[in-house]
Amino acid sequence: DGGITQSPKYLFRKEGQNVTLSCEQNLNHDAMYWYRQDPGQGLRLIYYSQIVNDFQKGDIAEGYSVSREKKESFPLTVTSAQKNPTAFYLCASSIDNRNTEAFFGQGTRLTVV
């Protein structure tokens, strides 16, 4: 089945640690996105990538980093510089950036302990 797989489903981070969230898609989509979801707020764009080896900052990129070495994979690293990382993180993909009809993974809930 085609889709987007995020792992892990739950992640706990100690203060000062970097953690990496995985996102893999087998939809052959060029564009991939990372969003953050907080209670009572709309999804906010962290980073996006239109093509392999290319990515741009979204609206709330500070404290996050990404890579896009393969078309299928777009991992997100939450660094210690992110002051409030506890949130629900969603990865999405679309055919390309001109068509943002996006399909989402099941999310990773990150909690700082």
Partner 1 sequence: EDQVTQSPEALRLQEGESSSLNCSYTVSGLRGLFWYRQDPGKGPEFLFTLYSAGEEKEKERLKATLTKKESFLHITAPKPEDSATYLCAVQAVSGGYNKLIFGAGTRLAVHP
Residues from 87 through 106 that contact partner 1 (CB under 8 A): 90, 92, 97-106
Give the strand pairing for 87-94 and 31-37: antiparallel
Q: By CB under 8 A, tell whether 74 contacts partner 1.
A: no
Q: Tell me which residue of 89, 85, 10, 75 sits closest to 44, measured CA to CA.
A: 89
Residue 25: what residue type? Answer: Q
How many binding residues for partner 1 (CB under 8 A)? 27
List of residues contacting partner 1 (CB under 8 A): 4, 6, 35, 40-45, 48, 50, 56, 58, 90, 92, 97-107, 109
